[in-house]
Amino acid sequence: MPAELSDLFLTYLSVEKGLSRNTVNAYATDLKKYLQFLKKNSRDAQTARKEDIIDFLELLRSGTYAIPTVCRYISSIKAFYKFLLIENRIPEDPTENLQMPRKWERVPKALTIADVKSLLAAKFNAGTALRDSSMLELLYSSGLRVSELVNIKLGDIHAEAGFIRVIGKGSKERIVPVNGRALGRIKRFISEERPVILKKRESLYLFVTRTGRPMTRQRFWQMLKAVGKQAGIELSPHTIRHCFATHLLEGGADLRSVQKMLGHADISTTQIYTKVTTDRIKKVFKTYHPRA
């Protein structure tokens, strides 16, 4: 397969579909691994059969790849073949009728409210303490994806109305409420610490680094991991987002509202959190009911 086809596909995702740079990069990474697999087996994307794709997915599942990651690879490969079909590069789509494996075999981990309070009260690095604590507070306050958090711009903050504008997956815009504590911290960061970090440079982005550029997902994850280690809490990139959804549902929020705040296109994705809260309710019942 001509190498430029994969480049054309990535351009198509960026220009025609309007996907973010981070999302396009994720597609590129998935596609590269898949094409390398085909090359080792003396095939390319245009000659691959459905059986070849299944073999690739089985290879992922037999390794250390979790179900959600395998699902992401399937989505990337499906999108690529749909593009090839549109471009008349293949006569038929080998991914047609390819089923997704059952998502979320394991329930996402959510911290207790006490654990989250410990994280928020952690000691942050001097010089960027307001920035880092604001990001963590906002992440828990609004349930953002990390990619959404680092791409927030100054104009997206509507402090008086108590919400922020977020551009999520597929360049879809949504409005997310923010609590007063998070907004107060953000205001302090903007007025006190952000100008010192920028050193007279200008930036449209809210959370900037000393280079004047927006914080990267990788750098934020490093910071969050360090805070978790300090508090003795094991974290994953999505842990805080899981906490946001789980704690809302435990507090009585309805599923549809949580779906909208998380930016899930399908409510079935949000429903996993009902299993989290149900499991917790069962645990409380078994622990405290005299007949349990």
Residues taking part in catalysis = 145, 169, 238, 241, 264, 273
Which residues are registered as beta bridge partners of 52?
none
Structure tokens at 168: 């999520």
Furthest C-alpha separation in the chain: 69
Using an 8 Å Cβ cutoff, are 22 and 217 in contact? Answer: yes
Q: How far apart are CA 42 and CA 142, in angstroms?
A: 48
Using an 8 Å Cβ cutoff, are 227 and 140 in contact? Answer: no
Using an 8 Å Cβ cutoff, are 133 and 224 in contact? Answer: no
Q: What are phi and psi of 153, to 5 degrees?
A: -105, 160
Which residues are registered as beta bridge partners of 165?
175
